[in-house]
Amino acid sequence: MGRPPCCDKENVKKGPWTPDEDILLVSYIEEHGPGNWRSVPVKTGLLRCSKSCRLRWTNYLRPGIKRGDFSAHEETTIIQLQAVLGNKWAAIASYLPERTDNDIKNFWNTHLKKKLKHEIGAFQNDGCSSSSQPSIPRGQWERSLQTDFQMTRKAFSDALSVDIKHSKHSNGLSSFYSMPSIDTQSAIYAASTENISRLLEGWMSKSSKSGGSSVATAYTSSNGVSLDAYEPFLGLDSPMTDVSHSQSVNFEENITIFQDESKPSFSLLEEWLLESESQEFFDMPYQDTSHQW
């Protein structure tokens, strides 16, 4: 017997959410807080699947979500994190707390993938690479990869510029995101009210012309973000071990993969980062080598 459906599909509404439904959902969450999603459709009278309610909240109504164009910095961060973490959108989103994993995933699939493909294509057409005989000087690849590595580290450092170790053991994620020390639930509620007004604004502007969404000013709540999965990366609760990997050796391995598959692959770099305990990763002095290119 297979898994029972999460809800009665017969009486479940699908498709875009209406303003009324949004208000109903936000009002309920303001009162009861997020969670216990199964009971949400029952208690609110929404003809929606519990999953749909959760998704609508986490991807759209949740306080602190920034919408609209991605900045150059966000774009760079996503590219670098994707290179290291792969398609772990939730993990990537945890470094960009104002963006949802869905947004990042969409942005990657619709913009960045094409952009990178185009840039790699242009790079190969420049005569730097050929399908039959890779002709890139090994030293050049190594420097290039090292630059990627440095940039990734910088992205991590930027994203983690707050004191994570302290925040984890004091006020959890709230302080991680530099929230003022106020009651978290109140923050969620206040921000939700802001979201409702934003929604109304959005609908008003949408009715005149399908306008873009306004930028959220509310700070991020703790919903939907879990640090636990990334503890190895953050060096939290991880025993410090002697890490004496040779960078050059690992870069060589990555260079080989890159050349063989004619596309960037950082799987070994990722493995190395995970294996080598992240602390050293962050403790290494950052050297901006990008100017060399």
Partner DNA sequence: AAGGGGAGCAACCGCATGGCA
Partner DNA sequence: CTGCCATGCGGTTGCTCCCCT
Smallest distance from the beta carbon of 195 to DNA, in angstroms? Answer: 13
| C-beta closer to DNA: residue 112 or 120 | 112
Least distance from C-beta 181 to DNA, angstroms?
Answer: 24
The C-alpha atoms of residue 236 and residue 270 are separated, in whole angstroms, by 18
Q: Which is nearer to DNA, 15 or 139 (CB)?
A: 15
How near is the Cβ of 244 to DNA at its closest, in Å? 30
Quickly count: other Cβ atoms within 10 Å of residue 293's Cβ.
8
Closest CA to 223 of 189, 249, 247, 251: 189
Q: Which residues are near DNA by CB under 7 A?
A: 2-4, 6, 9, 13-17, 35-38, 48-52, 54-56, 58-60, 67, 87-91, 101-103, 105-107, 109-111, 114, 209-210, 213, 224, 226, 229
Instruction: Measure the CA–CA gap between 111 and 170, rounded to whole angstroms.
Output: 38
- What is residue 38's DSSP assignment? T
102 vs 247, which CB is nearer to DNA? Answer: 102
Please name the residues in contact with 79: beta carbons below 8 A apart, sequence gap of 6 or more: 112, 116
Q: How far is the CB of 37 from DNA (least distance, A)?
A: 3
**Rounded to the nearest whole angstrom, what is the least distance from the CB of residue 36 to DNA in the complex?**
4
Specify the residue, 110 or 217, whose C-beta has the smaller distance to DNA: 110
Nearer to DNA, 30 or 103 (CB): 103
* Of residues 205 and 259, the one with the C-beta less far from DNA: 205
* Backbone Cα Rg of the chain: 22
Burial of 84 (0-12, 13-18, 19+ CB in 10 A): buried
Q: Nearer to DNA by C-beta: 111 or 263?
A: 111
d(CA 278, CA 78): 19
Burial of 83 (C-beta count, 10 Å sphere; 0-12/13-18/19+): buried
Q: Which is nearer to DNA, 201 or 288 (CB)?
A: 201
Phi, psi (degrees; rounded to nearest 5) at 289: -105, 5
Contact 64, 221 (CB under 8 A): yes
Q: Are 12 and 47 in contact (CB under 8 A)?
A: yes
Give 41's DSSP letter: H
Return the number of other C-beta atoms located less than 10 Å from residue 65's C-beta.
Answer: 23
Write down the least CB distance from residue 137 to DNA, Å. 33
